[in-house]
Structure 1
Amino acid sequence: MSKLFIPAGYRMPLTNNELQRAIELIHEEFQHSLSVRLNLHRVSAPLFVDGGTGLNDDLNGVERPVTFDIPDVGTDGQVVHSLAKWKRLALKRYEFKVGTGLYTDMNAIRRDEEVDNLHSIYVDQWDWEKHIDVKNRNMQYLKDTVRDIVGAICDTSAALRNAYPALTFKPEREIYFITTQELEDRYPDLTPNERETEICRQYRTVFLMQIGKTLHSGQKHDGRAPDYDDWNLNGDILMWNPVLERSFELSSMGIRVDAAALDRQLTEANCDYRRKLPFHQMLLNGQLPQSIGGGIGQSRLCMLLLGTCHIGEVQASLWDRETVEGCEKAGITLL
Structure 2
Amino acid sequence: MAKLFIPKNYRSSLDLKQTEHAIKVVKDHFQTALSAELRLRRVTAPLFVMKGTGINDDLNGTERPVSFPVKEFGDAQAEVVHSLAKWKRMMLAEYGIESSYGLYTDMNAIRPDEELSNIHSLYVDQWDWERHISKEEYKLDFLKHIVKKIYEVMKRTEFIVYERYPEIVPILPEDITFIHSEDLLAKYPTLSPKEREDAAAKEYGAVFLMGIGSKLSHGEKHDGRAPDYDDWSTETAEGYKGLNGDILVWNPILERSFELSSMGIRVSPEVLAKQLEIEGCTDRKELLFHKRLLNGELPLSIGGGIGQSRLCMFFLRKAHIGEIQASIWPEDMRKECAANKIVLV
- Whole-Å separation in 1 of the counterparts to 2:110 and 2:163: 34
Q: Give 1:295-306 correspondences, 5 Å limit.
A: 295-306=305-316
Q: Which amino acid aligns with 1:76?
A: Q
**Structure 1 position 173, deviation (Å):** 3.2
**Structure 1 position 200, deviation (Å):** 0.8
2:268 equivalent among 253, 258, 261: 258
Residue of structure 1 in register with 2:280 after alignment: 270
SS of corresponding position for 1:254:
strand
**Structure 1 position 52, deviation (Å):** 1.4
Q: Over aligned residues, Cα RMSD in angstroms?
A: 0.8
Residue of structure 2 in register with 1:307 after alignment: 317
Corresponding residue pairs, total: 335
Cα deviation, 1:272-318, whole Å, max 9, x if unaligned, reads: 11011111011111110000000000000001100001000000111
The answer to whether structure 1 residue 235 and structure 2 residue 248 are counterparts is: no
- Whole-Å separation in 1 of the counterparts to 2:14 and 2:339: 18
- Whole-Å separation in 2 of the counterparts to 1:169 and 1:73: 52
- Whole-Å separation in 1 of the counterparts to 2:329 and 2:127: 23
Residue of structure 2 in register with 1:124 after alignment: 125
Residue of structure 2 in register with 1:192 after alignment: 193
Contact 2:2 2:115 in 1 (8 A): no
TM-score norm. by structure 2 comes to 0.96
SS of corresponding position for 1:72:
helix
Percent of aligned pairs with the same residue? 53
SS of corresponding position for 2:243:
strand
The answer to whether structure 1 residue 5 and structure 2 residue 15 are counterparts is: no
Give structure 1 stretches of 5+ with no counterpart: none
Residue of structure 2 in register with 1:133 after alignment: 134
Q: Give 1:71-110 correspondences, 5 Å limit.
A: 71-74=71-74, 75-110=76-111
- Whole-Å separation in 1 of the counterparts to 2:91 and 2:295: 17
Find runs of 4+ consecutive structure 1 residues off by over 3 angstroms: none
- Whole-Å separation in 1 of the counterparts to 2:280 and 2:22: 45
SS of corresponding position for 2:73:
coil
SS of corresponding position for 1:44:
coil
SS of corresponding position for 1:300:
helix
Residue of structure 2 in register with 1:47 after alignment: 47
Residue of structure 2 in register with 1:22 after alignment: 22
SS of corresponding position for 2:77:
strand
Contact 1:134 1:290 in 2 (8 A): yes
**Structure 1 position 321, deviation (Å):** 1.5
Residue of structure 1 in register with 2:239 after alignment: none
Contact 2:319 2:342 in 1 (8 A): no
- Whole-Å separation in 2 of the counterparts to 1:33 and 1:172: 19
Contact 2:107 2:128 in 1 (8 A): yes
